Structure formats: structure tokens, C-alpha cells
Amino acid sequence: MKTYRYRLYPTEEQESLMSRTFGCVRLVYNHLLDFRTKAYKRRKETADYYKCNEFLMKLKEVFPFLKDVNSQSLQSANRNLDAAFRNFFGKPGKVGYPKFKKRNGRQSFQCPQNVKADHTTQSVYLPRIGWVPCVFHRRFEGRIKTVTVTQEPSGRYFASISAETPPELPKPERKVESADDVIGIDVGITTYAVCSDNTEYENPRHLSKYERRMKRLQKSVSRKKKGSKNRKKAGRKLARCHEKIADKRKDNAEKISADIAGKNQAAVAVEDLNIKGMTRNHHLAKSINDASWGYFTMRLKTKCERNGMRFVKVPRFFASSQTCSACGYKNPEVKDLSVRNWICPVCGMEHDRDRTASINIQKKGYELSVPVDGGEFKPVETVTVDDRAKAPKKHTVDEAGIVLELPQEAPCL
């Protein structure tokens, strides 16, 4: 299953039909969410998917205009709500309680059946809407399963086509024979990414380039009367500015990740950064969010796996910038981010902070990716800050090559 995203250019009549569908799907979703919430609060009952289906039939009697839109789109709203509740109960603490959908902002509806695509005429057929002009910048193959139509806050329309494609044969995994077969990557703000093979990628700083324009557009929105058409127009211009920044940010991450994953190495090592914790620094939060390291590492991992490369995450508590890549001495003074260059007091080697970090990440990535005792490679799971408190502490004793793990609360013998 693969999903392809294409730009739609609907006519005014089709825009009106889509707007009606967006509104009906939003109304059904919000009423079903209210129904499930009140059923539990008042009667301690769990309204499952089937009870919500019965309630949906009653909604169609109360609101006859719901029959004017595609019924499958309304059913999809019920399925999406049910999935949201399953995620809420299945991942406690990680997924929040489902929220009501707003009229303003990003809108969407799904068409799981009776959808067609024509590459020749560059159009997509949607039930109750018709053939909508579409730009197929790349072809897709396979049977269409679902089409999700989305309207961005700026007013742009997109169609995300999920198609059943034949499974791709995985490329043979490359062997890691030495540290040179691993690329170490150190991400940063001054330089976006520094690789152990001396490749550097500059940080384009898209947000800073559009910051003045964003402030001007925000002032323009705040000066307009609430609820007026002029305020909506100004809001769309501001939303388009935000989308431009996001598009450029994603494009930069896609290009860099594709370039790294296309190299002739066997593995890629990246530091497992605590981005959420780093953004608590108010002086760097804006720059860190603008760099979008999380999206970059996610796309890099996908492309590495596609090309048969191992993707290794180095533990976040590994002092990559403070450790001398020649002798292994750890310099605590380099903790200060203002120290960009330093000399090792032990061996006298000169270090560039980012370059040294990439080499140390390369070496650590090689250690984590080499099979132990001739066995198969197993990815190393790093422990996050939140998980450290939950994980039981262990004392390790190494005697004659035998490793014994004793729990901290072992009974006295």
C-alpha cells in the first residue's frame, strides 16, 4: 500500500460541493464524538462503532441535507472517530482524547469507493462531485483503495490516493566491515548536517527569511474585523506563508536525506536527540523547530531501509561533541555551545565541534551495527529520558567473558 499526494484544481461548482461535504463530515464527526462522550458520562456506557452507526441514521433524519453528500464519506468519519478512540485507549499518555473539529483550518473527507483516476485527462472522479482536474506529477500503479480530499487553510486542494501496489523486493542488506562503511551525521543549527565523509549541508533558515513578511501579515489579520470577508482573505494569505515555509522545509529535508541515502555506504548513524527537551531552551527553540530534525531523520530512515542501508540511532547521552576522536578524552569544557573549536589537552589534536561529533557518531554507529559473536545484527533500543525512571537498574559483572546481569533489588544470599 502506497499513498500519493496530488494537487487538485476544482471548478467553482466543485468547490461548493466539496465545501458542503467538508461541513457534513465535520458535523457528523462532532455529533458522534458528543454522543460517545455523553453516553459514558451520563450512563457509563461505551458507544462503539455500531451504536454510532445507528446514531448516524438518526442524524440523517434530523439533518436531511446529509443525504446530499456521499454516504461513504460520512461512514469514514465514524471509522476515523473509532480509530481515534482506539488510539486513545491503546496508547495511554501518548495520544490525547479526541477533539471536536473546527470550521476554520484544515478540512478533509474520504472516498473509499467508486473513485477513478485518469492519467490521460489528468483528472480524478469523486462520487457526487464528478471529474476534478488533477496534476499527476508522477504515475501510480495498482487499485485505488481510498482517496482523501484535503483543503489547506490557504485554500489549496489536494488528493491523497492510497493504492494497492505489489510488494517491492527488499534490496540485499549491505555488510558493515569497517567504520568507513558507516556515515556519521551530526545535525545542528549553524550547519544543518555534517557528515563524517566531510560533506556539509547548510541550514537554509527558511523561517528567518519569511519572518518579516509573517509579522506584516499577522498585523494585517489582527486589524480586520472578526468574521469579515477581508479577515478571511488576510488569514488565507498568512496561512499560505506558513505553508510555503513548511513546503521549503520538507523539500530541503527530502533532498538531503535522498543524497545521504544514495551514497555507497552500508549504514547511517544519527544521534537520537531529545528534541522536545531541547526546545525548552527559549533561545534556541525557534531555530530547532525550523530545522525540523525529526522529519529529516524519519525520511532518512525510510530511504535507507529502501536502499538496503542500516539506520543506527546513537544513544542521546553519548558525548559526541566533547570526546576527542583521536584519543577518546572527554573534555567537559566543550559542553558550552559557544565553543566551536577546541584542542585536546591530552594528544593536542585540533577539533571542530561538528566535524568531531560526526566522526564519533560514525565510530559509535559502527560499534552498534557490527554483529556480536557472528550472530545477526539487532537494532539497539535507546532509553529516553522518560523511560530511564521506569527501567530497572542493573549491575553488570564481567568474569572470564561471561556477562551476568543482576537486578538491583536482588535478594541477599
Q: What are the extents of the domains in the chain?
A: 2-164, 179-407
Q: What is the DSSP letter of 192?
A: E
Is residue 271 annotated as a catalytic residue, yes or no?
yes
Q: Which of 15, 186, 247, 259 is catalytic?
A: 186
How many whole angstroms separate alpha carbon 241 and alpha carbon 237?
Answer: 6
Q: pLDDT 10s per residue in the chain (413 long)?
A: 889 999 999 999 999 999 999 999 999 999 999 999 999 998 888 889 999 999 999 999 999 999 999 999 999 999 999 999 999 999 988 899 999 999 988 999 999 999 999 999 999 999 999 999 999 999 988 899 999 999 999 999 999 999 988 777 667 778 888 888 999 999 999 899 999 998 999 999 999 999 999 999 999 999 999 989 999 999 999 999 999 999 999 999 999 999 999 998 899 999 998 888 888 888 889 999 999 999 999 999 999 988 889 999 999 888 888 889 888 888 888 888 888 888 888 888 888 888 999 999 999 999 988 764 444 444 444 434 344 444 444 433 333 333 333 334 443 33
The span from the CA of 207 to the CA of 300, in Å, is 22
From residue 65, give the alpha-carbon distance in Å to each of 25, 41, 79: 12, 30, 21
d(CA 338, CA 316): 20
| 272 flagged as catalytic | no
399 is catalytic: no
Tell me which of 181, 271, 336, 350 is the catalytic residue.
Answer: 271
User: Other CB atoms closer than 10 Å to residue 204's CB: what's the count?
Assistant: 15
Residue 294: which region, alpha, beta or left (left: phi > 0; alpha: psi -120 to 50)? alpha
Sheet strands (E) in 198-328: 200-202, 267-271, 310-314
